[in-house]
Amino acid sequence: MDFQKLRLTGFKSFVEPTDFDILPGLTGIVGPNGCGKSNLLEALRWVMGATSAKALRAGGMEDVIFAGTGTAEHPGRPGRSWAEVSLHLDNENRSAPAQYNEHPMLEVTRRITKKAEGTTSTYRINGKEVRAKDVQLLFADAASGANSPSLVRQGQVSELINAKPENRRKFLEEAAGVTGLHVRRHEAELR
């Protein structure tokens, strides 16, 4: 499953629809402080089903929605009421779970909408609404996933060095790729 394209709309500082083509090989993101480099990685985590607001540097999930710019004296762009991130995946080599074998391309979309009664969150795979769990499972075995060790947050290396042994073990299990098995076993036990 190769990541091909990430599209952000109203997510954090990316207010207008913004596409990032992800080419084969190593991708580097460079830019001045505050230009949105970390926001981009958080978008990737978020669309893969991240549930921890802290990992997204957000107080609550609705904080990922573009909050507007400017001050009372110097108003800028108004905030948005929703945010959406889509990730296009190449499944030509059928490395996604078998249930997706008919799909050479997968488009995973997560959307959050602010409403008076709270926020609603929806996930879609190729346009069809699915559960958060379906999206998390899609990525659980691949060396990706919202909590994957292949996505290293700013400051995370020093956090890991100072971590308690059991937390460090969790991280190593992720890195070894056994977490997908744990998640599936948990799912099976619930049934």
Q: Which residues bind ligand ATP (CB under 6 A)?
A: 12-13, 31, 33-39, 63, 65-67, 154
Nearer to ligand ATP, 78 or 104 (CB): 78
Q: Which residue, 33 or 93, has its beta carbon nearer to ligand ATP?
A: 33
| Residue 66, contacted partner among Mg ion, ligand ATP, none, CB below 5-8 A by kind | ligand ATP
Nearest Cα neighbor of 138 from 11, 48, 64 is: 48
Is 32 annotated in some ligand binding site?
yes
Instruction: Work out the number of other CB atoms within 10 angstroms of the CB of residue 97.
Output: 17
The verdict on whether residue 39 carries a ligand-binding annotation is yes
Binding flag, residue 156, Mg ion (CB under 5 A): no
Distance of closest approach, residue 28 Cβ to ligand ATP, in angstroms: 13
Counting other chains too, the contacts that 101-110 makes at CB distance below 8 Å and 24 or more residues apart are 106/1, 106/138, 108/47, 108/48, 108/135, 108/138, 109/47, 109/84, 109/85, 110/46, 110/47, 110/49, 110/84, 110/85, 110/135
Residue span binding Mg ion (CB under 5 A) among the ranges 29-37, 103-111, 123-131, 164-172: 29-37
* Contacting residues for 49 by C-beta, under 8 A, at least 6 apart: 110, 123, 132, 133, 135, 136, 139, 145, 146
| Nearest distance, CB of residue 66 and ligand ATP, angstroms | 4
Supply the minimum distance, in Å, between the C-beta of residue 155 and Mg ion: 9
Which amino acids are annotated as binding site for ATP, given as ranges?
Answer: 32-39
Q: What residues make contact with Mg ion under the rule CB under 5 A?
A: 37-38, 154
